[in-house]
Amino acid sequence: MANAEGRIFGINGPVVKVRGTGAFEMQEMVRVGSEELIGEVIGVTDEETVVQVYEETVGLRAGEKVAGTGGPLSITLAPGILSNIFDGIERPLSKIREMTDAFIARGTKVDLLDNKKKWNVKITAKKGDMVSGGAIIAATRETSLIEHRVMIPPNLSGMIDWIAPDGEYTICDVIAKVRNENGVTDICMRQEWPIKKPRPYAERQAVTKPLVTGQRVIDTMFPIGKGGAAAVPGGFGTGKTMTQHQLAKWCDADIIVYIGCGERGNEMTQVLNEFGELIDPKSQRPLLDRTVLIANTSNMPVAAREASIYTGVTLAEYYRDMGYHVALMADSTSRWAEALREISGRLEEMPAEEGFPAYLASRLSQFYERAGYVTNLNGTEGSISIIGAVSPQGGDFSEPVTQNTKRFIRCFWALDKSLAYARHYPAIQWLSSYSEYINDLTRWYEKNVSRDFMKKRAKLMAILQEEASLMEIVKLIGSDVLPEGQKATLEVARAIRVGFLQQNAFHKDDTYVPLEKQDKMMDAILLLDKRLTELVASGAVISKITSTGIVDDIIRIKYTIGNENIDAPFDALMKKINDTFDAASAAPTAQNSAAPETR
């Protein structure tokens, strides 16, 4: 059957209206105009078809041809994805650069993945095997870090009729044939998958393991599970991108999908440079080997920005199906929502809040629900964790994107302007952030880190909470007039804020802190708290302790104690704390000795 065809009737920004005889399908991918720009059908009426174009429409004429492709917008899945950088519809930017120059020209036609490169493939299935969708039949080393597992497409099952021997193959070479009642299907390493359709899995599981990030305020205070979804909202300059970069660098996922959606070009260049240089501590290989970047900078076409999120999550699902744990960073989902708004406005749809379309919430939920910890069709386990940055207008969290996002995530890291102004990074505000994963993850922490990890966390949170209410008073009358007990609380809270929550991303040790050290740091702070409380109960003043500088020693743990062999230095520190307090209470000051009851 011939594909639908029509003629351009109207043009308004990225939205093109088409009239013609052919019957276009919704979400069908189309080629627009003589330059064959890529577009997608987003509306069909009896007289015209509405197409959003993923490239600049300057120069497009009324009357030019629009041709359907017969299928939805799809991307290619095969080895060659990792350590690559793509635009919003999976066109490799380095290839585009070779073909044009430093600027991206329109209508550039390029293979999504390298069809010519030969991969050294090891076949793992054999002739006569019964296979179903998702079954792994071969493997190849895609990068030094990741083995790419070649799978049967999800919707196919049958018996392997023929299979190639181990050897060098391109992604288009047939490596197996599968026979079923419908006939014989050729299998090559390459698959196509429509980006807006989630890839199937066998069963969704509960989130029970944390995504360890090495960032104290996240791992200890507001942890996210593997398969979870988190949002990082914050006004400009509060460090959303910095937080995303830190997570992409250090989190313990196998694969990182980093989507720069409507953000700065220089930031993508930075990720590209930095990740090529940074070495994964576990494997001694460049971090770029486990990373795929999707760059749709703010000046690239707006419709492709809308697609970039789906492209990213489809790539993530593909690696999840192989049995990997994938972390997906989307920076920023607000730009994506604005792309929806812009296109919706051009379609003259009835706007809901602040001009956003009424379907904003359902689109957001469809995206975040693609996160999850699953059992794959082939029996392996994999996960996708989604961390979406949100850029609320004016830093006001009551705007529609933040509010709707909050409904579909369970972990909320609120970035705070005043913390960022004071250069307290990461500027995650401990009182307004939350994680609903704490209960799900408590067992894991108890088993793998320390028995009372979450109890210690709760204690720290309580101190911070108390500090916040004390600060109300301090703001009015100053801290000097507080009773000693409350002064002690403020001192411990300072140790928590500066020594624990604040973390230096540019320091070689402090940029990533293992859970064991986080645990010990909490121990040190809680010991300080306990001893201070005892001291105050005995009637002493806390300046006896604060003048010794022991609190600053605790604050400086992050720099003075490395990440390895931490037991001895921590034991020494704990001893020093105890000794300082023992000395302080053994040598009463003039005040104490003058106290009436000692007479």
Partner 1 sequence: MAIEYIGLNNIQGPLAVIEGVDNTFYEEMVSMTLSDGTKRMGRVVEISGDKAVVQMFEGTDGLSLENTSTRFTGEPMRLKLSREMLGRTLDGVGRPIDGMGDYFAEEVRDVNGSPINPVAREYPRNFIQTGISSIDCLMTLIRGQKLPIFSGDGMPHDNLAVQIARQAKVVDSDDTNGDKFAIVFAAMGVKYDVANYFRRSFEESGVLNKVVMFLNLSNDPVVERIITPRCALTAAEYLAFNYDMHVLVILTDMTSYAEALREISSSKGEIPSRKGFPGYLYSDLASLYERAGIIADANGSVTQVPILTMPNDDITHPVPDLTGYITEGQIVLGRNLNLTGVYPPVDVLPSLSRLMKDGIGEGFTREDHPELSNQLFASYSKVEDAKSLASVIGEDELSELDKKYLAFGREFDKRFLTQDAYENRSIEETLNLGWELLGMLPKSELDRVSDETLDKYYGKTEV
Per CB under 8 A, which of residues 438..477 are in contact with partner 1? 474-477
Instruction: Report the distance separating Cα 325 and Cα 19, nearest Å.
Output: 46
Min dist CB 19 to partner 1, Å, is 8
Among 213, 297, 308, 383, binds partner 1 (CB under 8 A): 297
Q: State which residue, 151 or 464, has the beta carbon closest to partner 1.
A: 464
Q: State which residue, 180 or 546, has the beta carbon closest to partner 1.
A: 546
Min dist CB 245 to partner 1, Å, is 11
Amino acid found at 255: I
Min dist CB 312 to partner 1, Å, is 15
Residue 341 makes contact with partner 1 by CB under 8 A: yes
Instruction: Report the distance separating Cα 39 and Cα 21, nearest Å.
Output: 18
Residue 9 makes contact with partner 1 by CB under 8 A: yes
Could you tell me if 242 and 425 are in contact, meaning their C-beta atoms sit under 8 angstroms apart?
yes
Q: State which residue, 94 or 589, has the beta carbon closest to partner 1.
A: 94
Residue 595 makes contact with partner 1 by CB under 8 A: no
Residue 391 makes contact with partner 1 by CB under 8 A: yes
Q: State which residue, 187 or 496, has the beta carbon closest to partner 1.
A: 496
Among 163, 176, 295, 515, binds partner 1 (CB under 8 A): 295
Among 66, 85, 125, 371, binds partner 1 (CB under 8 A): 85
Among 355, 379, 485, 562, binds partner 1 (CB under 8 A): 355
Residue 342 makes contact with partner 1 by CB under 8 A: yes
Q: How many residues bind partner 1 (CB under 8 A)?
A: 81
Structure tokens at 5: 């065809």
Residues 182-221 that bind partner 1 (CB under 8 A): none
Q: State which residue, 505 or 527, has the beta carbon closest to partner 1.
A: 505
Three-class SS of residue 20? coil
Amino acid found at 334: S
Instruction: Report the distance separating Cα 561 and Cα 553, nearest Å.
Output: 11
Q: State which residue, 180 or 298, has the beta carbon closest to partner 1.
A: 298
| Omega of the bond leading into 596 within 30 degrees of 0 (cis) | no
Contact region with partner 1 (CB under 8 A), list: 346-354, 511-519, 534-542, 581-589: 346-354
Residue 299 makes contact with partner 1 by CB under 8 A: yes
Min dist CB 476 to partner 1, Å, is 6
Instruction: Report the distance separating Cα 64 and Cα 51, nearest Å.
Output: 13
Among 1, 2, 58, 586, binds partner 1 (CB under 8 A): 58
Torsion (CA) 504, 508, 511, 517 in degrees, nearest 10: -100
- Contacts of residue 368, Cβ cutoff 8 Å, sequence gap at least 6: 229, 386, 388, 405, 408, 409
Instruction: Report the distance separating Cα 51 and Cα 572, nearest Å.
Output: 68
Structure tokens at 281: 């501590």
Measured between its terminal Cα atoms, the distance across the chain in Å is 106
Residues 231-270 that bind partner 1 (CB under 8 A): 235-237, 260, 262, 264-266, 268-270
Residues 91-150 that bind partner 1 (CB under 8 A): 93-94, 96-97, 100-106
Positive or negative, the Cα torsion across 396, 398, 401, 406?
A: positive
Contact region with partner 1 (CB under 8 A), list: 197-205, 363-371, 422-430, 572-580: 422-430
Min dist CB 239 to partner 1, Å, is 10
| Omega of the bond leading into 74 within 30 degrees of 0 (cis) | no
Among 46, 423, 567, 597, binds partner 1 (CB under 8 A): 423
Instruction: Report the distance separating Cα 335 and Cα 256, nearest Å.
Output: 20
Closest residue by Cα to residue 336 from 288, 296, 276: 296
Cβ burial, residue 46 (10 Å; 0-12/13-18/19+): exposed
Contact region with partner 1 (CB under 8 A), list: 10-18, 74-82, 225-233, 484-492: 10-18
Min dist CB 196 to partner 1, Å, is 22
Structure tokens at 464: 């911070």
Residue 57 makes contact with partner 1 by CB under 8 A: yes
Could you tell me if 32 and 66 are in contact, meaning their C-beta atoms sit under 8 angstroms apart?
yes
Question: How far is residue 185 from each of residues 131, 170, 239, 471, measured CA to CA in Å?
Answer: 12, 18, 50, 70
